[in-house]
Structure 1
Amino acid sequence: MTLLLGALLAGGVLLTASPWLWPPTSSRAEKPVSAGVVSRLLESAGFAGVRPRVVLILAAAGALVAAAVAWLVTSVPAFAVVVAAAGAAAPFVWLRARRVRLLRSRRTLWPDVCDLLIASVRAGMSLPDAVSSLATAGPPPLRSAFAAFAVDVHASGHFDSSIRRLKTALADPVADRIIETLRMARQVGGTELPTVLRALATSVRADALLRGEVEARQSWIRGAAVLGVVAPWVILVLLALRPEGASAYASPEGVGLILAGGLVSVIAFRLMVRIGRLPEPRRWFG
């Protein structure tokens, strides 16, 4: 166990010092932000400016702290390993949960955005001005992103590149559809933009109502999954607090039981969550 804790500590120190040991080269700096899975997860969770290595450092630190606490409480090496894996996964689980919350909170806002864009276009505003006006007239949770777009487009004068950066900042499937519609209208022109935006708003509003109703009915599935996964591990901790329980779980049979239980818990939780989860729209243009 001492070797494991030493390896985890050394890995954490190495990851912390990696920005100075291996500074980014010019070729790496030129890669797009959305080059990796962690980068896309950060973008969709609203942290597009955070580097992926920060998440990796937090994961290593979480694993080290969780393993140390588990070892001090139970003195069971196998349990400390399982808890270290859970601590390493905690930042990614939190980012995914934040992404889901953002998508759900924004789902009912996009029809209002479409209505405001329709009103601005009908009032004779250009597309850059219509999108920039959402910084003050749009839904409050989205105003900061549109304010950044307004500053960007006024500084660069290039609508297409600014709207692409807005799409990266929003990282939302519905926003992708709206922004691609605006880009096409900007490039080819035409008078059908209000009609297309109105149809899109109607579709998104109906989808949000249906998803809200279904998710409300199936919310108990996730609660049951969390309870079913956490309860056995709480009992294991209580048993491991006793000296005879700790010695039993430290035996080869106990180690096998804990590792098998961790694997079964992960598989069962993912199955339960997948059963009760509706498929999210994909970012076809992201």
Structure 2
Amino acid sequence: MLLVLSPLLWPARADTRSERNGALAAVRDVLSLAGLGAVPLPVVAIVCGALGMLVGALAHAVFQVPVLTVVASVLGASIVPMLASARAERRRAANRAVWPDVVDHLVASVRAGMSLPDSVAALGGLGPAPTRAAFAEFDADYRQNANFTLCLDRLKSALADPTADRILETLRMAREVGGSDVTAVLRGLAGYLREDAALRAEVVARQSWIRNAARLGVAAPWLLLLILASRPETLEAYDSAAGSMLIVVGVAVTLVAYRAMIALGRLPEERRWFR
């Protein structure tokens, strides 16, 4: 009986642990892309909590409505995650446009007779501007320990991009296994990346109105609520049980509708299979 029931009793714990590790890795990727990769997660949590309490205190001092205080606290605590996500998304989009140029630089360096570590390090000064800082860190790191595998792993963590993972894993395989086809593989990858970037840019341009409509639909009712909250009778109405329930339901509906609209207007992102 124990053997029969064991698949129902224990796999959930392993799955939960795997999902938790995946969620933490996704958060670290967002922080790395936002330029906060060196900031520990507890520090980020403390900052979010402090902002939440500060915004909540200001809302309580102005409105003196408990439910508005709670909503303002949650909004304040979400400031850092929202800013980090927006910055990470912008950097991811900027990097997506330059990866073909990065591959072209690597191909040119390899064909010129440079070693793979030197070819990667040269991107710190000759590569596209959005990725120079990460490759410059690789150059300094490789000069210190001369461990190509370790430096590649650190570079992958700094870039936090699935396309970078594929490029760097190709270089790692060429370094460890050898072969004369690395330039041909990289040229084929560069062509694929250019086609994918052009197609994605066209689709994003066509669907940008969905995101703009979602942001407008989220902001409009709450801006109206702030305007109405300048009147004392409005605050008295929302300070009641029915008013509090109305605000809670409004927040829930707003979040669900916003997430649905953003999901409709967002292209699926490639997952990082080579962490």
TM-score (norm 2): 0.89
Q: Does 1:141 align with 2:130?
A: yes
Alpha-carbon separation, structure 2, partners of 1:37 and 1:174: 16
For structure 2, list consecutive stretches of 5 or more residues without a partner in the other structure.
Answer: 1-20
Match for residue 229 of structure 2? Answer: 240
Match for residue 271 of structure 2? Answer: 282
Indicate which of 146, 154, 160 corresponds to 2:149: 160
Q: Does 1:67 align with 2:61?
A: no
> Mapping of 1:27-176 within 5 angstroms?
36-176=25-165
SS of 1:191's equivalent in the other structure is: coil
Please tell me the residue identity of whatever aligns with 1:279.
P
Please tell me the residue identity of whatever aligns with 2:115.
S
Alpha-carbon separation, structure 2, partners of 1:238 and 1:73: 13
SS of 2:36's equivalent in the other structure is: coil
Offset at 1:36?
4.8
Offset at 1:37?
4.7
SS of 1:48's equivalent in the other structure is: coil
Indicate which of 186, 192, 197 corresponds to 2:181: 192
CA contact (8 A) 2:29 2:157 kept: no
CA contact (8 A) 2:110 2:119 kept: yes
Q: Does 1:272 align with 2:237?
A: no
Offset at 1:105?
0.5
Match for residue 248 of structure 2? Answer: 259
Match for residue 225 of structure 1? Answer: 214
Which 4+ runs in 1 deviate beyond 6 A?
none
1:43-64 Cα offsets, whole Å, 9 max, x none, are 2323211111121112111211
Offset at 1:135?
1.4
SS of 1:133's equivalent in the other structure is: helix
CA contact (8 A) 1:39 1:51 kept: no
In structure 2, do the counterparts of structure 1 residues 186 and 277 end up closer, same or farther at CA, with 3 Å as the change threshold?
same
Match for residue 10 of structure 2? Answer: none
SS of 2:35's equivalent in the other structure is: coil
CA contact (8 A) 1:127 1:182 kept: yes
1:36-87 Cα offsets, whole Å, 9 max, x none, are 5533331232321111112111211121121122222222211111111111
Alpha-carbon separation, structure 1, partners of 2:267 and 2:24: 27
SS of 1:109's equivalent in the other structure is: helix
Equivalent residues, number: 254
Please tell me the residue identity of whatever aligns with 2:269.
E
1:254-284 Cα offsets, whole Å, 9 max, x none, are 0000111111111111011001111111111
Alpha-carbon separation, structure 2, partners of 1:151 and 1:211: 34
TM-score (norm 1): 0.85
Offset at 1:35?
5.6
In structure 2, do the counterparts of structure 1 residues 181 and 36 end up closer, same or farther at CA, with 3 Å as the change threshold?
closer
Offset at 1:240?
1.9
1:120-151 Cα offsets, whole Å, 9 max, x none, are 11111110111111111111221111111111
Alpha-carbon separation, structure 2, partners of 1:44 and 1:223: 23
CA contact (8 A) 1:113 1:138 kept: yes
For structure 1, list consecutive stretches of 5 or more residues without a partner in the other structure.
Answer: 1-31
The share of aligned pairs that are identical, in percent, is: 50
Offset at 1:199?
0.7
SS of 1:108's equivalent in the other structure is: helix
